[in-house]
């Protein structure tokens, strides 16, 4: 069997184990979040992992911040306060930041769905007692994550050799399970919306 | 500030290496190796059952 596949599988499985360990380490040492601020993306200040609604809301807030940064740039450019070159460079930076952010939050949200029982996810949503607007936003966020993950899978697995078919099937089954769970969560949320 | 999946994973790697003893890391590596061998074994088995394109 191809050495690349073995290496890919090993990396994937090792990372899964490592994540489990790190989750426990952070839970038992929440001050680590102060030492490594990037952890704030995934963890609450008490060391627990952020739930699906927290992640989705934060993503929305950060998206709005980026849009606001873009508007500010547009204004500055329209007022000739920055050159076209500066404007285009900054816009590229902002777009890159948005892209990385989207990928990260897609990953974090999908991971929550993949690694938790459905009822735990549902309970984590119910506790917020969300209104219809927030429920709709949340359902859309999860739908968007599913679509992005399908698109990512298609993009990363376009060409494959026939002798890697088993590996392709393995990856496809894995992503399908996650998408199926995501759709279940989405339906659950939609059913909560008052007609 | 741009935050990427890679940066988050790098930090987790650093924490993992700091807090987990070498012996335990070896045990984890062995466990993962066994898991990967099993999956690869399943691939080999399913190869016999894969479809054959009719010419």
For chain B, 55 residues long, the average pLDDT of each consecutive 10-residue run is 88 96 94 92 69 44
Least confident of A35-39, A67-71, A125-129, A172-176: A172-176
Q: What are phi and psi of A164, to 5 degrees?
A: -105, 15
Measure the CA–CA gap between A15 and A9, rounded to whole angstroms. Answer: 10
Give the whole-angstrom CA distance, residue A132 versus residue A192. 8
Question: Phi and psi for A80 in degrees, rounded to 5?
Answer: 60, 30
Name which residue leads in pLDDT, B50 or A89.
A89
Instruction: Report CA Rg, chain A.
Output: 20
Contact B2 A96 (CB under 8 A): yes
Q: How far is B34 from chain A (nearest CA, A)?
A: 10
CB of B52 within 8 Å of a chain A CB? The answer is no
- Supply B16's token pair: 């993992």
Is the pLDDT at A118 greater than 80? The verdict is yes
Residue A165 has pLDDT above 90, yes or no: no
pTM as predicted: 0.88
Confirm if A40 and A108 have CB atoms less than 8 A apart: no
Residue, of A165 and A65, whose pLDDT is higher: A65
Cβ-based contacts under 8 A for chains A and B: 80
Chain centroid to Cα A19, Å, comes to 15
User: Are the CB atoms for B50 and A32 separated by under 8 Å?
Assistant: no
């Amino acid at each position: 069997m191809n050495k690349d596949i073995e290496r890919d599988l090993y990396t994937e499985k090792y990372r899964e184990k490592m994540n489990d360990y790190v989750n426990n380490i952070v839970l038992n040492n929440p001050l680590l979040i102060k030492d490594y601020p990037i952890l704030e993306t995934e963890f609450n200040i008490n060391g627990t992992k952020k739930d699906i609604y927290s992640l989705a809301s934060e993503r929305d807030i950060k998206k709005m911040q980026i849009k606001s940064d873009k508007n500010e740039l547009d204004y500055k450019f329209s007022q000739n306060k920055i050159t076209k070159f500066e404007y285009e460079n900054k816009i590229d930076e902002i777009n890159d930041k948005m892209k990385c952010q989207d990928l990260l939050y897609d990953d974090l949200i999908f991971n929550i769905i993949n690694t938790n029982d459905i009822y735990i996810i549902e309970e984590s949503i119910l506790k917020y007692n969300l209104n219809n607007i927030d429920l709709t936003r949340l359902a859309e966020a999860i739908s968007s994550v599913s679509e992005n993950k399908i698109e990512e899978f298609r993009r990363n697995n376009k060409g494959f050799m026939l002798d890697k078919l088993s590996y392709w099937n393995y990856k496809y089954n894995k992503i399908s399970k996650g998408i199926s769970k995501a759709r279940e969560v989405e339906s659950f949320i939609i059913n909560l919306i008052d007609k | 500030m741009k935050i990427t999946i890679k940066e988050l994973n790098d930090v987790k790697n650093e924490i993992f290496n700091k807090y987990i003893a070498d012996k335990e890391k070896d045990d984890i590596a062995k466990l993962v190796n066994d898991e990967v061998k099993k999956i690869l074994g399943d691939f080999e088995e399913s190869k016999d059952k894969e479809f054959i394109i009719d010419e």
